Amino acid sequence: MHMYKGHARAYTNIALIKYWGKADQQLILPMNNSLSLTLDAFYTETSVTFSSEFSEDQFYLDHQLQDKKATDKISRFLDLIREKAQSQLFAKVDSQNFVPTAAGLASSASGLAALAGAASAALGLSLEEKELSRLARRGSGSACRSVYGGFAEWQKGDSDETSYAVPIVSNSFEDELSMIFVVVNDQQKDVSSRDGMQRTVETSAFYDGWLATVPQDLAKAHTAITDKDFQALGEVTEASALKMHGTTLAAAPPFTYWSAESMRAMNLVRQLRNQGLSCYFTMDAGPNVKILVQRKDEAALLGKLQEHFSADQLITAHAGPGIKITTKEVEA
């Protein structure tokens, strides 16, 4: 019997300059570059075992065996790795998401990055970070950024070979930052991010305006990181999120990920800023609001937020590390 095992832990990342729209659905090539910060508070641990004893792929998420639909998605991704490693072995995938209960936070970035790392290690593929990033992208676009700690930029490229994330030199600027999550709703979304993205690209009157401004926003973010300029980074982060969400309102039919609670959190951030507390919000394809703040102001911001939201709605994160591929055993 041949058995091959790999294990990986990857952390989730939040895009400061957003990825919104695919140029190629199949290869998951994005319409624009994006820039992210990997966080320490949410991560996925995945073990993958390939064995000649297995007659099909099995996928366990948080100790629950998953249905055919979820397993097929994982199998298709494993097929890419099997092809690379010239293997026909089936696998058992054990994946656990370490996200605070009921946080309603996306785990596809950490999940697919961890799967890419664990499965490729199990089959003896020693992939460099760039190659691992490329592979993770095929599972979930934002997963390509979770290969790296701190700041990363996903370079859109124009082919499977040229689309991957790279780390950004930051002189540890990320260590001066905190991100506070305001969890306002963990219900199932009306419009998935995948469908929302596609509808926006195909029908939004504002989409071209979004694409046209991304290069300037990226340049501003890079300068802000180099200069360790928190205000500049905050301003461009908030602007990018608002523009992305603006495109959904001009889609046909129109939609939004905002809820009344999202608006309340965003207005509070603006109010606190007017009172001299430097903080900026961002949002992904869901109603939760993430607030970027300097670590030195973290306690003050939390204090203010606790006057409006319950403690279990607030989660604090700091910059997180890159992927850790911790085991590779081969048994005959």
pLDDT of residue 102: 47
Closest of 251, 287, 247 to residue 266, by C-alpha: 287
| Alpha carbon distance 217, 282 (integer Å) | 14
Model pLDDT for residues 81-103, shown as the tens digit of each residue: 999 999 999 999 999 999 765 45
Q: Are 324 and 43 in contact, with CB atoms under 8 Å apart?
A: no
| Alpha carbon distance 22, 212 (integer Å) | 15
Distances (CA, A) of 192 to 164, 198, 203, 278, 295: 23, 10, 16, 32, 33
| Alpha carbon distance 304, 180 (integer Å) | 12
Grade residue 193 by pLDDT with cuts at 50, 70 and 90: confident
Residue with tokens 């970027």: 292
For each of the domains in the chain, give its residue range(s) and CATH number, in order of start.
Answer: 1-331 (3.30.230.10)
H/E run at residue 61: strand 58-61
Residue with tokens 């934002």: 142
| pLDDT at 332 > cutoff 60 | no
pLDDT of residue 190: 80
pLDDT of residue 186: 61
pLDDT of residue 185: 72
| Alpha carbon distance 12, 50 (integer Å) | 25
DSSP H helices, 92-229, are 108-122, 129-139, 193-203, 207-227
Cβ-based neighbour number of residue 318 at 10 Å? 16
Kindly report the average pLDDT of the chain as a whole number: 95
In sequence order, which residues have a C-beta less than 8 Å from that of residue 275 and are 6 or more positions away? none
Grade residue 191 by pLDDT with cuts at 50, 70 and 90: confident
In sequence order, which residues have a C-beta less than 8 Å from that of residue 109 and are 6 or more positions away? 10, 12, 13, 140, 142, 143, 145, 146
Which two three-digit tokens encode residue 180?
Answer: 């506070």
Residues 163-169: what's their mean pLDDT?
98
| pLDDT at 326 > cutoff 90 | no
pLDDT of residue 321: 98
Distances (CA, A) of 327 to 49, 78, 120, 157: 11, 18, 11, 32
pLDDT of residue 330: 65
Model pLDDT for residues 37-74, shown as the tens digit of each residue: 999 999 999 999 999 999 999 999 999 999 999 999 99
| Alpha carbon distance 72, 59 (integer Å) | 9
Q: Are 119 and 111 in contact, with CB atoms under 8 Å apart?
A: no
pLDDT of residue 100: 63
| pLDDT at 323 > cutoff 90 | yes
Model pLDDT for residues 3-29, shown as the tens digit of each residue: 899 999 999 999 999 999 999 999 999
Grade residue 161 by pLDDT with cuts at 50, 70 and 90: very high
Q: Are 38 and 321 in contact, with CB atoms under 8 Å apart?
A: yes
| pLDDT at 280 > cutoff 60 | yes
pLDDT of residue 329: 63
Which two three-digit tokens encode residue 159?
Answer: 């082919």
pLDDT of residue 240: 98
pLDDT of residue 237: 98
Residue with tokens 């319409």: 31
Model pLDDT for residues 225-279, shown as the tens digit of each residue: 999 999 999 999 999 999 999 999 999 999 999 999 999 999 999 999 999 999 9
Q: Both ends of the chain: CA-CA distance in Å?
A: 6
Residues 131-137: what's their mean pLDDT?
98
pLDDT of residue 104: 57
Q: Are 247 and 201 in contact, with CB atoms under 8 Å apart?
A: no
